[in-house]
Amino acid sequence: MKSTKPQHSNKQSKRGSALESLLHSEHTAEIEKLVVGGQGLARIQYQDKFLVVFIPRTAPQEQVRFRITHVEKNHLQAEVVQVLRPSPSRREAPCDYFTNCGGCSWQHITETEQLKQKELILQDLFKKFIPDVAYELLPSVSSENSFHYRNRIQLKQLGTELGYFRRGSHEIVDINHCLIAEKEISDRIPELKQKLKPAKELRKFELRINHLNQFEHYPIGGDGEGLSFSQVNNKVNEKLVATALQLIVQKNPKSLSELYAGAGNFTFPLLQALPDLHIESAEMNPKLTAFATEKLKNLKLQKRLFAFTTDCESFVQRRQLSSEVVFLDPPRAGCSEQVIQKIIHSDARTILYISCHPVFLARDLHKIFAAKPDYRLTHTQIFDMFPQTDHFETLVMLSK
C-alpha cells in the first residue's frame, strides 16, 4: 500500500498522537465493510502494525485512494480522492444534493447491499459484546419504499437558505425537495421557503404529516414539538408493532411494564389484543402522555393502563417492574445503568427490547447476560426503518 509524504501542516491532528505524521498523506486500500456511522473501513500499514481508517461515501469491496484528514489516538479519518475500482454495489446517487448534503449516508449503495451491511454491523457488535450468546438473526424486514418514506424531517434555516447541514459542517445545503421525505412534505419545501422570513440566526423546523394525516410545520422548541410520536416510517412501523404484538400475545401475560412508552405506539395494540392485560408505562414527555391519556379515555381502557409522566429512572425507583414482561423502546443512547439494573433485578420471564442504535443495544445485552445467563435470545430481527442511511431498528426478545 503506497503512501505519499504529507504536504500540509498538521494543525488538525490529535495533539500528542504518534500518528501525526500521517495527516494529509494519501494512501490506496480496499474497503472491507461499512460501520456504525455509515463510513467505510479500510486499513493501512504504519511501521509494524495496521491502522484502521474510516472513509465516508465509500462502498464495500472497492479500491479507493484517500487522504488522511484527522488523526485520532487509535484510528484515522479520511476523504476519498479517487475511486479506483468501484464496488459492485455502488450506484449513482438518485438525489441531486447527495454529494454535499449530510442528510443521507448511503444513497450511493444499492438497497440490497445497504441491508446486508446493516446485518453485518449487528452481527459484528454481537460478536464483540455477547460472543457466547447463541441467536438466530431472522430475515430483515425491509421498507416498501426506499424513498419518500419519512413522515417527518427536520430542516435548518439561515438567511433565505433552508435545508440540511453540509457533511461535516454547520453550513446549510439549500434544498427544494427531499427524496426520503414523504411526497407531501417534499413538495411543500419550496412553498415554506417563500413563507419564512430570512433568519439572522440559525433556526430549526420540523415538517411532518401529523396523526390526522395533515401536513404541518413548526420551529423546533415551538408549541407543537413533542407530538411527533410515531416512528418516521409508517409502513415499517406497522410491521414492527405487529411483530412485537405477536411475540407478546404468545406469552399471554397479565401484567407488563413498558418503559419509554411514547404516545402508545405499542401500548394500545397490546391492550386491545390481550383483554386481561394490565400495563404500567413510563414516558417523560408530558405531551405524549397527555395524548395517550386522551386516547385511553376514548377507548375506555383507563382501568387497564397506568401511564406515568416521569423519567424511567424515577419510575423504576418507585415501581416494581412486572415479573412477566418488561417492554422497552429507549432513545438512541439506550438505557441508563440504573434502568438496566432494575430490569435485571425484575427477573422478568420475558424482555422485549426495541433499539434504534445497535452499539447501545449490544452494550445493554452484555450487561443483562452477564448478570442473568439463564436468559436466551429467542428473537432477533432488523427492521429497516431508515433506508439510504446506516440507521436501523432492531427487535430482540429475551426469554427465560
In the annotated binding site for S-adenosyl-L-methionine, the residues are 231, 260, 283, 329
User: What is the spatial distance between Cα 316 and Cα 322, in angstroms, rounded to a whole number?
Assistant: 11
> How many CA atoms, within 13 angstroms, populate the side-chain half-sphere of residue 51?
24
End-to-end C-alpha distance for the chain, whole angstroms:
50
Displacement of CA 40 from its chain's centroid (Å) = 18
User: What is the spatial distance between Cα 38 and Cα 385, in angstroms, rounded to a whole number?
Assistant: 15
Query: What does the buried/exposed string (b/e) look like for 48-71 if buried means 16 or more CB atoms within 10 Å of the residue's CB?
Result: eeebebbbbbbbbbbbbbbbbebb
User: What is the spatial distance between Cα 71 and Cα 18, in angstroms, rounded to a whole number?
Assistant: 9
Cβ pair 122, 129 in contact under 8 A: no
Cβ pair 377, 135 in contact under 8 A: yes
Conformational region of residue 73, where left means phi above 0, alpha means psi within -120 to 50, and beta covers everything else:
alpha
Catalytic option among 104, 312, 335, 356: 356
Q: How many CB atoms lie within 10 A of CB 269?
A: 16
Cβ within 8 Å of residue 214, ≥6 positions away:
none
Is beta strand 172-174 parallel, antiparallel or unpaired with respect to 161-165?
A: antiparallel
| Annotation: binding site | 231, 260, 283, 329
Which of 64, 125, 52, 51 is closest to 90 using CA atoms?
Answer: 64
Question: What 3-state DSSP class applies to 329?
Answer: coil
Distance (Å) of CA 170 to CA 9, 120, 174, 203: 24, 31, 12, 12
List, in sequence order, every beta strand (DSSP E) within the chain. 26-30, 33-34, 40-46, 49-55, 63-71, 76-85, 152-159, 161-165, 172-174, 199-209, 215-219, 255-259, 278-283, 305-309, 325-328, 350-355, 376-383, 393-399
Known catalytic membership, residue 312: no
Residues taking part in catalysis: 356
